[in-house]
Structure 1
């Protein structure tokens, strides 16, 4: 066939090819008229598809006859257009109503997201942090503005400290109130670690008083609503198994002198080098090991027409980085939902069972490893003290010397077992006789039983011939019964949707502790301590959505607590807020770029009753006062005596909040800003307190604080298409808190914040006009080269006498700003995510350096036989002759940025089993100028913190 004939034939056939397989072009717009970047355009039932460009344009090739073209975009209703030969199809997508109707939790109820008037944040399981998560709090770190999550330590089984906005109390409990599936936990025994993180569906954090006032008596520090996962009705059987294995190591050590450096230091100081050893022992390296962690999770769920069941089994086993430390936990979860009466009655049963075992290491080894002589060998040649080298005198171990770090670890056997059971039965009934009326009842039971022991080898250096045994046991019980009526009605005349709530709650707490301890080589029984209290609450709320434009909400609660006398037992709390949904106005809808705009504002009053110290109507009283006890058989039970500070009442917090919610370009970019102002009065203060004010050790209502701040959140959907999705989000909080009144004793400062080096050393100060974590120090004087002068301070009051009157408030531990940034990216079956977290404006007191980095500590004089102790390398910078605890030299800037986690994963889809493989790095690096081990120190005093870990986690997930 010649070339001319081929060309003619091709031209002849082209129309037929074009008729059979056509090309479609067009533009896809969002509902606001903006181009839909990354929208998917595909031939239904085939893999033939494309995505729109920056201008919303697309070209779809090879479209067959009678095809159906599918247009889809996240957040918008999917549309299908039959192909009838048209060459151009332009389309405008409509917003998905289900996105606008998203339901979020509020106190004792739920609401449409667009009608939220208060300051609150929801973090769902899709947003949780990745990694070997053993504590629910770890899921939240860096995820929500106004919520600061600080890892307490690297100790196995430790949960993080969670703070919602700056704490308003001083002596009181600064923890939020945790509510798990409708059951408020005991604030002094929340034990979130007993909840399997894999069972948690979402956290909702209620931050301002208008949101939390319905929980009035314990809501000043925010409320965290935790919802566990449940199966859906009419769903197929799903089985999933996930396993993770982690290897972890110490993130950072205290930098101390090596054996050779220490020998040189001793020689340079003209000391006797003959008492040194010949070894080069890195004691910190010896006490730590590579930690390992394995986490297993098995889930089965199935939904029927009227029943859904979800059962889960979790197991966690952790060997800590400090030898002899560890944590083991087994969880069993069960959620059952059953509908009756054609769906009018729904019963939900939730149970969470946990068995925990904590293995405790002697954490005194951490500090001992910093100062123990690096020239000495680990073991001795005599076989005494378990074979470990110890400093001795004529009678045994030298009492004023540190113990061998490894001897401390190997001579202690300490463990605590804990059993936790949380059960909840919820009934919701739609009362058909009154349309819109629903009753919900809730019965909860939270029980925790524990027993533990600590046994020290009597032949070791630490336990040498001493009392070496102690045992403890006890239980915590929390019982709840509450009920509420919800009534919803549309007032057509006023174009208003109304929701009314009225309910009540009774909650009872019982705590009991006892134990045994060795004295004179015999076991002695400890007294039985009993603490019983109850809370009674009546609450109400009214919400109005007016013309789909204005939302008004008000709530109130009346609370009674048995912890207070009859005169002060009852208190009223309230909250009110409102919002203008400008999203629904022509201004926003015609703007061309705004897709969401809502203004919010609210105020309210909440309370606080929890404090670690015992007070009136409790079973333990003012220190030094005799306790009454009644004998039952061979047991003595401490009784409850309403004496002491009987005029105590709640702490009271008044809070104002203003906020704005924004969305741009079809909510491709969303954000919010909240500003809050909070005043707390009648503080529950526990001594020591200033002379002329409260008596030392007593407890009264006195003092006040003021806190304020601004919280911002922003999220962006950078790419959204069928194959590629990339979202980023960030949040930042600016905050401050100050004491505005203190104890009424002419506002005299109070010394707090104990440090090592003897009784009475307090480095922080409560004072009017200052942050509660302010440091109280001498101003250090430096030479012309910037080196600190030993014992030379500024005479701040100019009286030519250097004494405590020259100490001043200098810096603070609380950060001015903290922030988080998260990125989530996936391409087809591959995904990658990471979270950065940081803080600025806070300072730490480096108590490790202040205690040991001086020649007085290195060459002690209070021992029978001479011995030398190691020091942090900072001793070479200061050359301090003795401990200078109150020098501001040790108050060091603690700003930081941390890469909390970086996770990579890949999904392998299969016919019957989908498999996901992942690798995650945690605590990968820290950017900071802080000279200590870790800048993130809760409370601001850095004293031999159990170091946090850096880890690599390998995971496999199987979904059947």
Structure 2
């Protein structure tokens, strides 16, 4: 017995020592791209049940013996296997599994997977965003998605013109519906703000989903004809992490409109008689001033963003963010400042049956607006005159004057900028509460409730110095305007998902209520006793929708989606208030068929076909049915005793007004080759818009105006889209990824009221001139011009045009349609290159076949413009190419219509990441870059990409500077 006990004790002594020659190994598991610890990672010895998981700090400890293989796995990340050779520490960096993360695509009132998507939907996550000096969120998408074009002005914090597949309308809005965390926002902005997205911090954006065809957008019915952009913001996480991003940018304008220098201007004035008379050379000064240099400046801007993530009260995943942006504009006095606060709370209760997502955001936007019209004044102002004049009664600025009387002509642009203080303060609060409850007794059924609110209050303050150059009795102004816009949303829907044998089904049905309000007031000019205050408001707009969707998947290969929405709008009369918007889509996952299942070449192949009807109801407030009258001039008032009553004027009204409707047909192919190393899609579509909202003439006396908004006209847009994503190189330390997309568009007006042409596209120079036309059989906003005649030497003959109809009279009947401002082809190309800790990315775009009317030259490049009313004025040097004298003789010549095709490199950035700096500081990424790197174009103007109300008309755009960038990203 004693011998037995001694043997047992000896055995127990050696077991813990040897334990089959096992050792303790420990380490930390972090996310490769961020160096943030990953909790909950499974660490298992291969081919065994022995394992553990990482703790809150990403740390683990495990017993292993030599020859074992440690397997690290985590949902959403690529698994890693590491042989154990006796080392005491193994630290692991896990990379995201891009194929898995890209699987989920956010759509209207829900989500799907790329494999199950039947519509034309493209998702871009934060990993793929365009980099650079991104101030407003839409520029994260610039050049990234086929069919989507984004055109941003050079003004600081300015909004962008966003077009998805060329829009769908002529006179109504072509802007897409934008949805932030389930809250559709209005495309109307208040005065005092730069735009509807200017208040949103791009650093808070997690992903975009762009819904392009009607089968994807019809769930939003009456507002989806121009496509839908769904923005998802970043959510809270349980693991604590912190990031600090800082960047500085230094901008410089690299181009100018060429005008005559002071010496050349003197020579030109001396040599050019105007209308047979010499110019008055005594009006010339002795200075040498480049007025464009005086109003433009080099800029310094900065952005700083701080975000904190972690569990609040150890139970609520939370994210807090703070951002501040300061951006100087290229025009003196132009400034934009934004401060953002964001809070996201994302707890789950009742064993994840109830998911709560609360997003709350505050934005404070401060603007100082510079009058971009002073660019034109800088071109015109006499370069022989100084900026300042100590004897001037107009604040010490030089002005053309006779004693204290201002002479008629262009005024000093520097004085106009510095003596005007036009500020706008915009405070915005927006967010939503989303409750997603999966029923305990029926887990296949869930109820979703979404409550959203968006409120913007703005104050616009205009101050003009009392020393401003004017001959008016009232000099200067003090003018305040206050506006408030609210957006309230209530959505609720039920979703049921169930699999029956080989059939997977999902059904969604819901209700939506949204209300928009707007009101404002202004003080009038407090320095002018004749200026009265004014209060104004738009009628409340209420939108009500009932929607439903059915998704059916057969054998994981054949997919059917049916969508229906019925929308009601208070914009229209009771008879036309409701609209019906159905859609259907089919898809076939061919790559899952037996004959392709084991293909080494084709890894994914899906055919799609879709049909749907969507709507459009965005018309100006004065045109909607509710607005039956408007306030008269504030000075037109009646007084009864001590009560002053403002006059009212009946508004024009069309009780038959109804929705625009756009019907879309689409056929698409999604493909993936060589294990999805090459992937993308090809889409062919046609959009037919009818009942276009269009302002057209009515018979005299038939209404309270001779022009009333009506449903007239039809528009057809045909297109082809192609996209390609390629992992050119994919290795552990070296990766090269490229993205290429191309869009081909053809637009044609197929019907207008009574078949009549509609002139549009007002231009500067003369009075009442238009350069564009809507005509059946042509693209919207096509250019209507005279055909220029040339002499035998190839020089244009002033005022000489071809008699195209042969009646020996040159009049409007001889104008012809030549080109249009829309690009026939839109291209985008991006690349991301990673080598060890280095990263390089760039973004390029191209437009082909778009034309621009150079209104800068057509209205200014004539020698007659040297006489600027009572003074002298400068002109562009391009006048020497024509020697034209009179603007009115040449303004509508096709000479000024130019091919504005271009290739642009928008951004290029280079960075280096230092990992594992300390226990708390996980990484630092230092980077530099350039924005607006280069432009290749034959267009002779300042920039071929023109922004403005009238597309394709260049009447002095706000210039885009080239910007040098430097930044640092800290991750804790």
- The alignment's TM-score, normalised by the length of structure 2, stands at 0.86
Which ranges of structure 2 fall in alignment gaps of 5 or more residues?
A: 1-44, 47-64, 86-95, 190-194
Q: Distance in 2 between matches of 1:847 and 1:76?
A: 55
Q: Distance in 2 between matches of 1:750 and 1:524?
A: 37
Residue of structure 1 in register with 2:903 after alignment: 897
Q: Distance in 1 between matches of 2:644 and 2:570?
A: 26
Residue of structure 1 in register with 2:660 after alignment: 651
- Give matches, 1:523-672, under 5 Å: 523-612=531-620, 614-619=622-627, 644-672=653-681
Residue 511, structure 1, aligned to residue 521, structure 2: no
Between stretches 352-361 and 619-628, larger displacement belongs to 619-628
Residue of structure 1 in register with 2:54 after alignment: none
Residue of structure 2 in register with 1:786 after alignment: 794
Residue of structure 1 in register with 2:268 after alignment: 265
- Give matches, 1:106-505, under 5 Å: 106-151=107-152, 153-189=153-189, 191-232=196-237, 235-270=238-273, 271=278, 272-303=280-311, 306-393=315-402, 396-399=405-408, 401-461=409-469, 465-466=473-474, 468-469=476-477, 470-492=479-501, 495-505=502-512
Cα displacement (A) at 1:99: 2.3
Cα displacement (A) at 1:72: 11
Cα displacement (A) at 1:533: 1.1
Residue of structure 1 in register with 2:739 after alignment: 729
Contact 2:336 2:365 in 1 (8 A): yes
Cα displacement (A) at 1:97: 11
Contact 1:554 1:575 in 2 (8 A): yes
Contact 1:630 1:639 in 2 (8 A): no
Q: Distance in 2 between matches of 1:192 and 1:903?
A: 24
Contact 1:513 1:530 in 2 (8 A): no
Cα distance change of structure 1 residues 784 and 653 upon mapping to structure 2, 3 Å threshold: same
Cα displacement (A) at 1:858: 1.6
Any idea what the Cα deviations from partners look like across 1:483-509, whole Å, max 9, x if unmatched?
0000000011xx110000000000011
Which ranges of structure 1 fall in alignment gaps of 5 or more residues?
A: 1-43, 46-63, 85-94
Between stretches 828-837 and 522-531, larger displacement belongs to 522-531
- Root-mean-square deviation (CA), in Å? 3.0
Any idea what the Cα deviations from partners look like across 1:278-308, whole Å, max 9, x if unmatched?
2221100111111111111010000477420
Q: Distance in 2 between matches of 1:73 and 1:888?
A: 64
Cα distance change of structure 1 residues 587 and 631 upon mapping to structure 2, 3 Å threshold: farther
Q: Distance in 2 between matches of 1:741 and 1:386?
A: 57
Contact 1:449 1:475 in 2 (8 A): yes
Residue of structure 2 in register with 1:950 after alignment: 962
Cα distance change of structure 1 residues 472 and 624 upon mapping to structure 2, 3 Å threshold: closer
Contact 1:555 1:574 in 2 (8 A): yes
Q: Distance in 1 between matches of 2:647 and 2:473?
A: 33
Contact 2:771 2:892 in 1 (8 A): yes
The secondary structure found in structure 2 opposite 1:328 is: strand
Cα distance change of structure 1 residues 641 and 125 upon mapping to structure 2, 3 Å threshold: farther
Q: Distance in 1 between matches of 2:674 and 2:783?
A: 48
Which one of the candidate residues 681, 686, 697 is aligned to 1:677?
Answer: 686
Cα displacement (A) at 1:423: 2.4
Q: Distance in 1 between matches of 2:646 and 2:553?
A: 55
Cα displacement (A) at 1:859: 2.4
Contact 1:552 1:577 in 2 (8 A): yes
Cα displacement (A) at 1:345: 0.9
Contact 1:377 1:389 in 2 (8 A): yes
The secondary structure found in structure 2 opposite 1:385 is: coil
Any idea what the Cα deviations from partners look like across 1:123-176, whole Å, max 9, x if unmatched?
11111111221100111110100100001x211120221111112211111111
The secondary structure found in structure 2 opposite 1:99 is: helix
Q: Distance in 2 between matches of 1:629 and 1:713?
A: 61
Q: Distance in 2 between matches of 1:848 and 1:130?
A: 33
The secondary structure found in structure 2 opposite 1:242 is: strand
Cα distance change of structure 1 residues 592 and 682 upon mapping to structure 2, 3 Å threshold: same
Cα displacement (A) at 1:630: 12
Residue of structure 1 in register with 2:711 after alignment: 701
Cα displacement (A) at 1:268: 2.2
The secondary structure found in structure 1 opposite 2:259 is: coil
Q: Distance in 2 between matches of 1:536 and 1:642?
A: 26
Cα displacement (A) at 1:458: 2.6
Q: Distance in 2 between matches of 1:274 and 1:467?
A: 29
The secondary structure found in structure 1 opposite 2:859 is: helix
Residue of structure 2 in register with 1:740 after alignment: 750
Q: Distance in 2 between matches of 1:829 and 1:779?
A: 59
Contact 1:622 1:698 in 2 (8 A): no
Cα displacement (A) at 1:463: 7.7
Q: Distance in 2 between matches of 1:186 and 1:392?
A: 48
Any idea what the Cα deviations from partners look like across 1:592-634, whole Å, max 9, x if unmatched?
2111101011010010001125224334758999999999998
Any idea what the Cα deviations from partners look like across 1:558-585, whole Å, max 9, x if unmatched?
0110110000001110111011011212
Residue of structure 2 in register with 1:937 after alignment: 946
Cα displacement (A) at 1:273: 3.0
- Give matches, 1:47-86, under 5 Å: 66=67, 68=69, 78=79, 80=81
Contact 2:122 2:211 in 1 (8 A): yes
- The alignment's TM-score, normalised by the length of structure 1, stands at 0.87
Q: Distance in 2 between matches of 1:237 and 1:170?
A: 50
Cα displacement (A) at 1:78: 3.9
Cα displacement (A) at 1:100: 8.6
Q: Distance in 2 between matches of 1:687 and 1:194?
A: 36
Q: Distance in 1 between matches of 2:171 and 2:635?
A: 23
Cα distance change of structure 1 residues 301 and 97 upon mapping to structure 2, 3 Å threshold: closer
Cα distance change of structure 1 residues 82 and 471 upon mapping to structure 2, 3 Å threshold: closer
Residue of structure 2 in register with 1:48 after alignment: none
- Give matches, 1:699-778, under 5 Å: 699-743=709-753, 745=754, 747-778=755-786
Residue of structure 2 in register with 1:51 after alignment: none
Cα distance change of structure 1 residues 831 and 74 upon mapping to structure 2, 3 Å threshold: farther
Contact 2:678 2:724 in 1 (8 A): yes
Cα displacement (A) at 1:321: 1.4
Cα distance change of structure 1 residues 785 and 466 upon mapping to structure 2, 3 Å threshold: farther
Any idea what the Cα deviations from partners look like across 1:173-193, whole Å, max 9, x if unmatched?
111101100011113237111
Any idea what the Cα deviations from partners look like across 1:468-522, whole Å, max 9, x if unmatched?
3222111001000110000000011xx1100000000000110112212227445
Cα distance change of structure 1 residues 295 and 735 upon mapping to structure 2, 3 Å threshold: same
Cα displacement (A) at 1:705: 0.6
Cα distance change of structure 1 residues 621 and 816 upon mapping to structure 2, 3 Å threshold: farther
Cα distance change of structure 1 residues 637 and 509 upon mapping to structure 2, 3 Å threshold: farther
Cα distance change of structure 1 residues 851 and 549 upon mapping to structure 2, 3 Å threshold: same
Cα distance change of structure 1 residues 768 and 124 upon mapping to structure 2, 3 Å threshold: same
Cα distance change of structure 1 residues 762 and 100 upon mapping to structure 2, 3 Å threshold: same
Contact 2:435 2:449 in 1 (8 A): yes
Contact 2:572 2:626 in 1 (8 A): no
